[in-house]
Structure 1
Amino acid sequence: MGLPMCRLVMRVLRTGQMRGWKMQVGWSLRVEARQMPPFNACRFCPDQSVIMNVLIWNCRGALKPNFQDYIRELFRSHNPAILVVMETHIGGVRAREITDRLPFENAIHTNTIGLAGGLWMLWNSGRVDVTHLASTEQEIHAIVKVSNSDSNWLLSAIYASPRSAEREILWNNLNKTADLHDMPWVIARDFNEPLTGKDKFGARPVSVSRSLLFKDCLDKCNMIDIGFTGARFTWTNKRPLQTLIQERIDRFFVNPRWCLLFPNAKVTHLNRCHSDHCPVLLDMQPRPFVGRKRPFRFQSCWLSDPSFPRVVSQAWHPNSSLFEAIKVFTEDAAKWNRLNFGNIFDKKKSIMARLNGIQKVVSVRPSNSLLNLESELQRKLEVVLTQEEEF
């Protein structure tokens, strides 16, 4: 809790002006709470510079009402050093206006392909240095240097056009990139093309001619697939079983030099929410979770609860020092938060876990009952996330 906020709370407590306290203090508290860093970026937490990961997501439109909220949720949950957003449908000044409101300091945008496409690369310079090399409507190429290390590698973010002629231009550009750069290389992309028959469920079989062109490009670039965990498919048309189509088209490829640099890297297909594509996470130095006590952080949602002023008033005693009052307040507020708001966060965690399990099963043995249950859980998740944002 910042010093200005402490002063505001203590002033209200000392003067006993609890009436209208939300009007006098609430907005200042709300502003301060929003300005505080997220938990996993807290300066009192262990050094985050060794955590290096890249997250890609085809959002199917950055003007959706919940787009910015979900980007913040991905940031809180996975703390990506670099985020690649595909098919934003927005470029130019409008794209800059949106990315300026997201929790990233820097951004590269491409132009859209008519009303389709749109590719953004976002990052925070405290963890990585990104040097922009070149970009087209379908690709962004950049050199990434991890902070506090000597490692440099090439990152190519791709949104492949669904049109074959434009995709052929993309394959040629990637082949030229391979000729120009002999360094560790990652290709992160929505290919709009399954590679093999195993990467598709439903509808017509994979086109042999198009998949051969795809594979030929990967071979010339010396790219390999390091596998994944999570549901098999990254995209679905969200139709009933009779017309259901699922494909694995969002993926990472790396070259052998990059594998030597990050031998323990892994790819995870995350839960699919807010889009028909799931986010895909490349974690370069995965580490086992080590539980640690979460530092205290004031939550702006507390201001909406009429019982919160009592928690504040009970923390102050005439003979107490400011330090003692803050200590009592943080302990009491943490307990009160678990009782009043913990159920919302537990509910979100439970829904996400159920979605993860259902999406894994649907990718192997789909059924109408499971598809209906997935849709129902998606709706429940939207409600919970809206409640969480309002709080």
Structure 2
Amino acid sequence: MNIVVWNCRGALKPNFQSHVRELVRCHNPDVLVVMETRIGGDRAKDISDRLPFDSVIHTETMGFVGGIWLMWNADRVEVVQLAKTEQEIHVEVKVLLFNLSWIFTTVYASPRYDERQVLWENLSKVADLHNKPWIIAEDFNEPLAEEDKFGGRPVSINRSLLFKECLDKCNMVDMGFNGPKYTWTNRREIHSLIQERIDRFFMNPSWCLLYPDAKVSHLTRCHSDHYPVLMETNPRRPMQLNRLFKFQSFWLSDPSFPSVVKQAWGQQRDLREAIDLFSNQANLWNKNHFGNIFHKKKRIMAQLDGVQRAMALQPFSSLVTLENHLLKELDVVLEQEKDLWALKSRINWMILGDRNTSFFHVSTLARRKMNLITAIKNEVGDWLTKEREVASHIREGFMKLYTTS
């Protein structure tokens, strides 16, 4: 499923309708949100009826600013309006193809500070009303940190903290992005140029677990001072490359691991040969000894279920023994799973408390998104975006580094 959100800065512009059609042609969104349309009532309905969507929700403008249109096609998604104000629309989205439902909130935060305060309060109240998967998107009119702004006055720490406090109450995580760093520009000369990242997608942990590969992209800006933003719940998967060897710290807790080290380093070999031998043997040992922890847990749970069903029909001492054995195996696997998630998330679990929580799952997924390379600039300044081009360029760089070292 694709969602495109765009602050169009006026739906009466001559090129507004043609640009919307171009966005639909290129990115095939199931839901399109345009904001700061600056018109409402019958005029808003008249223009939205000409666009390639059969359903729409409008909000009223705030004087001569604002106005949000949430549009969709009913044969692909079912959208139920929950609530709306001039600054927000809350809907429940049901993806018909997969029968999945979640909450979607689209926001146009007022440029006026007092009205933004009302929006933060409203979002915090919505968070208390449900525990469903939830995403919030679009123009928040407030940078979160100094790195989200170039030029102009420094970011207001007090206003950013109020924004962040609202996000924390809503249990929201920034989905990250691909593409240009900023989403708004004043389009001035360099000495007075201001750029900000104020158009965003946020998700709560349960939505992240529903769509772990979701991807946000800042599209090419034209016809507005805001970039359109595309969110894909199931983007085209990147090409699978051979993974580099990674040492896992939880190997050290296993008594059989020292023999793997001794076998690789116990005989006289050159450094390169010893490293290659250890990497291969450690990977093989890890696969055979630990296997897939999640599959192993699932298998043990299935065996426990079978044993407990049998005991309910006719208990035997052998079944009691087998259940105790499986419970011990499960404890070991659960501990390994906790260590694995804590290691992957690179978070100090002793500070944060319980390790096996959705926080670690989400932080791992978020880190994986940030580490994913989708584009790279070559020596002459050209951007390479095709997967094979990126992989080939990285491989050539490693080869040059290896041969010159």
| Structures share fold, TM-score greater than 0.5 | yes
Q: CA deviation at 1:237?
A: 0.2
Larger Rg, first or second structure (1 or 2): 2
Structure 2 partner of 1:74: 23
Q: CA RMSD in A?
A: 1.8
2:103 is aligned with 1:150: no
1:227 partner SS: coil
Alignment equivalent of 1:233, drawn from 178, 182, 196: 182
1:155 partner SS: strand
Structure 1 partner of 2:139: 190
Structure 2 partner of 1:119: 68
State how far apart, in whole Å, the 1-side matches of 2:97 and 2:146 are.
Answer: 42
Q: CA deviation at 1:150?
A: 2.5
1:98 partner SS: helix
State how far apart, in whole Å, the 2-side matches of 1:280 and 1:226 are.
Answer: 12
- 2:235 aligned partner, one-letter code: P
- 1:263 aligned partner, one-letter code: P
Structure 2 partner of 1:242: 191
State how far apart, in whole Å, the 2-side matches of 1:203 and 1:142 are.
Answer: 36
Q: Map 1:193-342; keep pairs closer than 5 Å.
A: 193-288=142-237
| CA offsets 1:228-268 (integer angstroms, 9 cap, x no match) | 10000000000000000000001100000000000000100
2:180 partner SS: coil
| CA offsets 1:321-372 (integer angstroms, 9 cap, x no match) | xxxxxxxxxxxxxxxxxxxxxxxxxxxxxxxxxxxx99x9xxxxxxxxxxxx
Q: CA deviation at 1:287?
A: 1.3
State how far apart, in whole Å, the 2-side matches of 1:125 and 1:144 are.
Answer: 11
State how far apart, in whole Å, the 2-side matches of 1:167 and 1:280 are.
Answer: 21
State how far apart, in whole Å, the 2-side matches of 1:141 and 1:101 are.
Answer: 24
Structure 1 partner of 2:33: 84
Q: CA deviation at 1:289?
A: 9.2
Q: CA deviation at 1:189?
A: 1.8
Alignment equivalent of 2:13, drawn from 58, 64, 86: 64
Structure 1 partner of 2:332: none
State how far apart, in whole Å, the 2-side matches of 1:105 and 1:129 are.
Answer: 12
1:167 partner SS: helix
State how far apart, in whole Å, the 2-side matches of 1:289 and 1:116 are.
Answer: 40
State how far apart, in whole Å, the 2-side matches of 1:106 and 1:84 are.
Answer: 12
State how far apart, in whole Å, the 2-side matches of 1:277 and 1:133 are.
Answer: 27
Alignment equivalent of 1:108, drawn from 57, 78, 85: 57
Higher-RCO chain (CA-CA 8 Å, sequence separation at least 6): 1
| CA offsets 1:196-240 (integer angstroms, 9 cap, x no match) | 001000011100110000000000000001211000000000000
- 2:100 aligned partner, one-letter code: S
- 1:246 aligned partner, one-letter code: Q
| CA offsets 1:286-316 (integer angstroms, 9 cap, x no match) | 01599xxxxxxxxxxxxxxxxxxxxxxxxxx
State how far apart, in whole Å, the 1-side matches of 2:123 and 2:29 are.
Answer: 25
State how far apart, in whole Å, the 2-side matches of 1:148 and 1:189 are.
Answer: 25
Q: CA deviation at 1:128?
A: 0.4
- 2:92 aligned partner, one-letter code: I
State how far apart, in whole Å, the 2-side matches of 1:182 and 1:287 are.
Answer: 29
State how far apart, in whole Å, the 2-side matches of 1:57 and 1:144 are.
Answer: 19
Alignment gaps of 5+ in structure 2:
240-379, 384-405
Alignment gaps of 5+ in structure 1:
1-51, 291-356, 361-391
State how far apart, in whole Å, the 1-side matches of 2:99 and 2:15 are.
Answer: 38
2:226 partner SS: coil
- 1:157 aligned partner, one-letter code: T
Q: How many percent identity over aligned positions?
A: 63
TM-score normalised to structure 2 length: 0.59
Alignment CA distance shift 1:223-1:289 (3 Å): closer
| CA offsets 1:16-75 (integer angstroms, 9 cap, x no match) | xxxxxxxxxxxxxxxxxxxxxxxxxxxxxxxxxxxx011100000000000000000000
Alignment CA distance shift 1:201-1:156 (3 Å): same
